[in-house]
Every structure is written in structure tokens, then in C-alpha cells.
Amino acid sequence: MLLRTAWVLLCLAAPLLLYAQSPADSPDPPPRAISSAPLSNDRILGIIPNFQTVSDPTTPYRPLRARDKWRLFVKESVDPFAFFSAAAGAGISQWQNGDPKYGVGFEPYMQRFGAAQADLTSQNFFQDGVLASLLHEDPRYFRMGPGSTVLRRIAYAMSRAAITRRDSGKDGFNFSGLVGMELGIALSNAYYPPKSVNGEEVAERTFTSLAATALGNLLPEFWPDIKEKLARCKHQ
């Protein structure tokens, strides 16, 4: 479900990602400062929350306090887009009669929606709140930014599913992200129907969650470039 939603968003945004890397028609103006407040309310395309991202790669690193990590968990979980994403994922699953296998009809759709929202909230809870605080890891996404090739930036963005910034400022294995994801999936077995609770289904949910995380990093990586070009065109 998460992977399907991520693919839908990336397909819609693909033209913008290509536009971000297209050659400029005129010399670039001096770079403008980009806000990198860790909990800013910036939104990609005016819809997708981007407050999990540190956009300016030159910003000196400042770790989040534990209470800020919990605050990030709450913001991610109650944001209107989280409910939209859960509703869209539940709709795709309902249309295909896929996992979780609640059946067809309005009531099964609402069960799918509730399960999708619970999946998102529980994974955020374990990743951003519990484990990021206990393991001293930073749940935010730190952009590589312009100056590197497109392929290198894509590889970097996707690798952040397994690599994260520690509170010390150094990179390390993303224990909070990956273990938190597995804890959320394990918890989902308590409310998923029996048909969707077995080793094969759990492995599939692990893969789709990991892939959705990796693909989901592409938009925040390229969004400031897109926004800069759009602003430049507006003032030409």
C-alpha cells in the first residue's frame, strides 16, 4: 500500500524532477538562502509536508532534542496529508482487493483506511519518537543538494533509507528507521485479518515500506531546485 502511494506521487511529480535538472536559459542568479528550520511548515507542491527535511546542505548541524523528535512524530502523524495518503492507499488496496484482505464494500474500506493510518502512526512512533531518542539518531532527511550529478543525488536520497545522521553529526546505520519500521509492521499483525498475517505478507510489507521510504526521499531532495526555478521563471 505504501509503495503504491509512493509510486503515484512520483509519477505525478516526475516532470518536476526532470525540470529541476534542465539547463537554465539564463545565467544563474546568486543563490538565495533556503530556510532549513528543522520543523518548518514548508510543503512540496503546496500539499506534501516537508518539515522533516533540512534543505540547505551548508547549514551547520544542530541535533534535535528528544522532545523535538517527539514533536516531529506528532506533526507527521496528524498532518492532513497523512490522512489523505492513508485514504488513497486504502482506495488502491480496495480497488485491487489487496492487502490487508478485509474484503470489499464500504466497511472493509474503512477498515483498510484505519489500518493504513495505524501503520503510518505506529511506524512514526517507533522511528521518530522512541528509537531516535533512545539511539541518538536524527530522523530528518538531509539533502545532498546541487553540485552533484542527478544519478548521485538519486542514489544518495535512496540510500538514506538505510543510513541516517546521528546526534553526533556523523552518518551511521539507520537502526531507528529500519527497526522502527519492523516494530510497526509487527504491531500491525494485531489488527490485520488472519489472511494477511504470515511470513510472506510480512516480508512483502517490509519490502514495500523500505521502497516507499527510499522513493519518498527523491521529492525533498529535488524540491528546492524546482521551487528556485519556478520562482526564477515567475520573475523573468
Dist. CA 111–CA 119, nearest whole Å: 12
Examine residue 113 and state whether it is found in any structural domain, yes or no. Answer: yes
Inside any domain, residue 217? yes
For residue 41, pLDDT over 60 is answered with no
Tell me if 37 is assigned to some domain. Answer: no
How many structural domains are present in the chain? 1
Q: Among 161, 163, 166, 162, which residue's Cα sits nearest to residue 136?
A: 166
13 within domain boundaries: no
Flag whether 17 is in a domain.
no
* Percent of the chain predicted with pLDDT > 90: 61
CA end-to-end span of the chain, whole Å?
42
pLDDT for the residue numbered 104: 87
Q: Within a domain: residue 125? A: yes
Smallest CA-to-CA distance from 71 within 87, 53, 51, 88 is with 51
Residue 196 within any structural domain of the chain: yes
Q: Can you give the pTM of this predicted structure?
A: 0.78
pLDDT per position as a tens digit, 148-193:
899 999 999 999 999 999 999 999 999 999 999 999 999 999 999 9
**Percent above pLDDT 70 for the chain:** 82
Q: Which domain holds residue 230?
A: 42-54+62-234
Measured between alpha carbons, how far is residue 188 from residues 80, 115, 118 in Å?
A: 22, 8, 8
Tell me if 9 is assigned to some domain: no
Cell of 21: 535538472
Least confident of 5-9, 53-57, 120-124: 5-9
Share the mean pLDDT of the chain: 84
pLDDT at 26 over 50: no
Report how far residue 76's alpha carbon sits from residue 54's, in angstroms, rounded to the nearest whole number.
Answer: 15
